[in-house]
Amino acid sequence: MKKYSGFFGCLFLALSGTLFGQVNDADWPAYGGDPSGMRHAALSQITPENLHRLKVAWTYRTGELAYYQQNNAAEKAAFEATPLMVEGVLYLSTPSNRVIALDPATGAEKWTFDPKVNLKEDYSEITSRGVSTWPGPDEVGKDRERRIFLATIDGRLIALSAATGKPIPEFGRKGTIDLRRGIGPISVTSPPAIIGNTVITGSSMGDNQRLDYERGVVRAFDVLTGKLKWRWDPIPRKADDPARATWKGKKAAQTGAANAWSILSVDPERNLVFIPTTSPSPDYYGGERVGRNEYANSIVALRASTGKLVWHFQTVHHDLWDYDNAAQPALISVERDGGEVPAVAVGTKMGHIFLLHRETGKPLFPVEERPVPQSKVPGEQAYPTQPFPVLPLPVGPQQVRIEDAWGLTEADREVAEERIASLVNEGPFTPPSLQGTMVTPSNAGGVHWGGVSYDPGRNLLITNINRLVAVIRLIPREKLKEEEGKNEALLRAETGLQEGTPYVLKRDYLFTRSQEGLRMQTKPPWGTLLAIDMNSGERKWEVPLGFMYDPQTYPDAVNWGSINFGGALTTASGLTFVAASLDGFFRAFATETGELLWQSQLPAGGQSTPMSYQLNGKQYLVISAGGHGKLGTPLGDYVVAYALD
């Protein structure tokens, strides 16, 4: 139903105009382009034939670098925002949660709003993926001014006047709702969802330091007053909820998280909001929460007006791998039995892509429960089976063997072989171990928060993936200092205290670090871009995305791909635009074939998702280029717009 032509296209536009505000194909009114998160621009001025004329139209600098320096925040900062374009104004947020309005033709600043977030708090990451807009008029037909909604890393929901950038005093308390009140020190890193006169937000939190994290509640507020409409807890607390029986153990009720930190999608026609939930806390040990842990690691459809559960589909049972549903669910339509069926496409960190019926949650391709390796860690009970989609086939590596070892030199390869031989991997869903487990795809692998895009005219789902292997080791708490004293690499690895459990987490990846950068230890490619036909479930093509080593020194590096964060954009003219890779290039590929057609060097890392709009007859492409502190890409504070010269 997302083909903007014929009867279905007219119906969609009519419904979205009634329930969500009129959507103009030239605008980009939501994070994913539309409320359904397809990340597709129905624009065709920029084509494969004229790509060579694509040039920088304007560049705007946010001034964020000064904020990082003042607050020692550079190592955690990531400019991941996708701007909005509505009614002739571009709106975006910065990692420090400042909101900026720009002239979309020139990049000239119209106004800024600074919520004055204290960047010295202990945030896992300093980022904001964007803002949301409520278009009006409201449901009773009274004209209201456009609002911009910002959810902050210090746990606030703020309503701003789109015209002035000033807080709207009648919303909450002087324009602000304290999302931490009654919950605890949560953050929000993704834009809230808007449906009708309701704004809905999830939350973000670090989830490896203790068992009893905050509750990952999803809440809905009135867009005009800020009054709470409903709240939904992904961990079932009521005795009459049938899912509660899937959480067993004396401490199961203390479990937190299972939150929705990624982007929500909405279906105004069906009055549904789709929630991608995450792992319960802590990520890598579940002995205190034995069972399937339903509603966690799930796609959950709620009635948007009431918050009542309509259906849920669990992508991982009893998560032990930090396999959050990080990608926004994409609401698409597919052909079945000669007709169009409303669907939800779900990309996961495991490299599994599930296609579900949007109204029931039933899989549209077969899903099999298959036996998986069991845990040898005392106290743990890994779930005996996991859901595997028959189609599409998994993306990314599903197992690591000694023959997968790789190095820039023969000595590097031998080190990689030795390391792989010392670790455990029995295929997908190998549980964490005391010896050390290779998890592939990793918590950063498969489809991450960059998500998927969907070209409705070609029925192609496009996604970029990471092929990165994590090394997970659990250490009995009383033996931590002893083990670190014996193993310098273990001392350097990331530590999750997992308080409330018997084990401390140590997490690393199959690479080493040197003055020259990362030295990968598994065979390339390490990042790819691929296309899947969502009618048949067949993969149409897959190509390396970016490079991590200097091609002048290593000519084959252009075929090795790159670790990548950020998503892709498709256009009606058959182009797929994506940055995301560590090399800092913004690229265009042919959607039909995967052929690389164009690339442009960005002034800083492009770990974000681009968007496109048309203004005064000219199509623009815009991307945030500010780098990613944890990935080590060059930091900056650029917003770059491209157009045909």
On the question of pLDDT at 256 being above 50, the answer is yes
Would you name the residues annotated as active-site residues?
Answer: 322
Asked if residue 502 belongs to a domain, the reply is yes
- Check whether 168 has a pLDDT greater than 90: yes
Q: Is 331 helix (H, G, I), strand (E, B) or coil?
A: strand
CA dihedral sign, ordered 24, 14, 303, 229: positive
82 falls within a domain: yes
- Max Cα-Cα span within the chain: 71
Q: pLDDT of 87-117, one tens digit each?
A: 999 999 999 999 999 999 999 999 999 999 9
Residue 514 has pLDDT above 90, yes or no: no
Structure tokens at 97: 């949660």
Record the tokens describing residue 197, joined without a space: 């006169």
The single-letter DSSP state of residue 210 is: B
pLDDT in tens, 31-85: 999 999 999 999 999 999 999 999 999 999 999 999 999 999 999 999 999 999 9
When pLDDT is cut at 50, 70 and 90, the band that residue 143 belongs to is low
Phi, psi angles (nearest 5°) of residue 208 = -115, 5
Q: Examine the pLDDT at 409 and tell me if it is beyond 70.
A: yes
> How sure is the predictor about 205, in pLDDT bands with cuts at 50, 70 and 90?
very high
Lowest model confidence (mean pLDDT) among 310-324, 475-489, 597-611, 614-628: 475-489
Q: Which residue has the higher pLDDT, 608 or 25?
A: 608
Q: Give the pTM.
A: 0.94
3 state SS of 193: strand
Count of the separate structural domains present in the chain: 1
Q: With 50 as the cut, is the pLDDT of residue 13 above it? A: no
How far is the first Cα of the chain from the last one, in angstroms, to the nearest whole number? 34
Q: Is the pLDDT of residue 206 over 90?
A: no
- From the list 196, 446, 463, the residue with the least C-alpha distance to 332 is 463
How much is the mean pLDDT over the chain? Answer: 93
3 state DSSP class of 586: strand
For every residue of 524-547, DSSP letters joined together read SPSEEEEEEETTT--EEEEEE---
For residues 48 and 463, the answer to whether their CB atoms sit within 8 Å is no
| Structural tokens at position 619 | 């199509």
Calculate mean pLDDT across residues 436-445: 95
pLDDT higher than threshold 70 for residue 18: no
Quick one: pLDDT at residue 2? 34
- Given this model, what pLDDT does residue 562 score? 98
| Cα–Cα dist 634/604, whole Å | 5
Q: What value does the mean pLDDT take over residues 431-438?
A: 98
Residue 567 lies in a domain: yes
Residue 202 per-residue DSSP state:
-
Please state, in angstroms and rounded to a whole number, the distance separating the CA atoms of residues 60 and 522.
Answer: 39
CATH number at residue 69: 2.140.10.10
Q: How far apart are CA 627 and CA 634, in angstroms?
A: 5
DSSP string covering 400-456, please?
Answer: --GGGB--SSHHHHHHHHHHHHTSB--STTPPPBSS-EEESS-TTSBS-TT-EEEET
d(C-alpha 317, C-alpha 326), whole Å: 16
Q: Is the pLDDT of residue 12 over 80?
A: no
Res. 140: pLDDT tops 90 = no
Interior/surface letters 221-256, b for 16+ CB within 10 angstroms, e for the rest = bebbebeebbebebbbeeeebebbebbebeebebbb
Are 59 and 637 in contact, with CB atoms under 8 Å apart? Answer: no
Question: Residue 252 has which token pair?
Answer: 């199961």
The pLDDT of residue 8: 31
The mean per-residue pLDDT over the stretch 603-625 comes to 97
CA distance 399 to 395: 12
Q: What is the 3-state secondary structure (H, E, C) of 100-137?
A: EEECCCCCCEEEEECCCCCCCCCCCCECCCCCEEECCC
At 445, the pLDDT band (50, 70, 90 cuts) reads confident
- Is residue 194 domain-resident? yes
What confidence category does residue 142 fall into, taking pLDDT thresholds of 50, 70 and 90? low
Asked if residues 79 and 625 have their Cβ atoms less than 8 Å apart, the reply is yes
Beta strands 527-533; 539-544: pairing state: antiparallel
SS3 167: strand
Q: What is the pLDDT of residue 26?
A: 87
pLDDT of 609 higher than 70: yes
Q: Which of 142, 151, 203 is nearest to 172 (CA)?
A: 151
Residue 1 in any domain: the answer is no
Task: Give the mean model confidence (pLDDT) for residues 10-28.
Answer: 46
565-579 as b/e, with b when 16 or more CB fall inside 10 Å?
A: bbbbbbbbbbbbbbb
C-alpha distances in Å from residue 638, one per residue of 388, 608, 628, 635: 41, 12, 13, 9
Q: Is the pLDDT confidence value at 480 over 90?
A: yes
Domain for residue 399, yes or no?
yes
How many residues make up the chain in this entry?
Answer: 645
pLDDT tens digit sequence for 214-238 = 999 999 999 999 999 999 999 999 9
Q: What angle do CA 263, 623, 72 make, to 5 degrees?
A: 80
Nearest to 126 by CA among 95, 87, 148, 88: 95
Within 10 angstroms of residue 290's Cβ, the number of other Cβ atoms is: 18
pLDDT at 489: 83
Residue 254: the pLDDT is 93
- The residues, any chain, with a CB within 8 Å of residue 148's CB and separated by 6 or more, are 91, 99, 131, 132, 133, 159, 160, 161, 162, 165
Q: Which domain holds residue 636?
A: 6-644
Measured CA to CA in angstroms, residue 91 lies from 83, 151, 529, 571 at distances of 5, 14, 28, 21
Q: With the C-alpha atoms ordered 215, 216, 221, 225, is the resulting torsion angle positive or negative?
A: positive
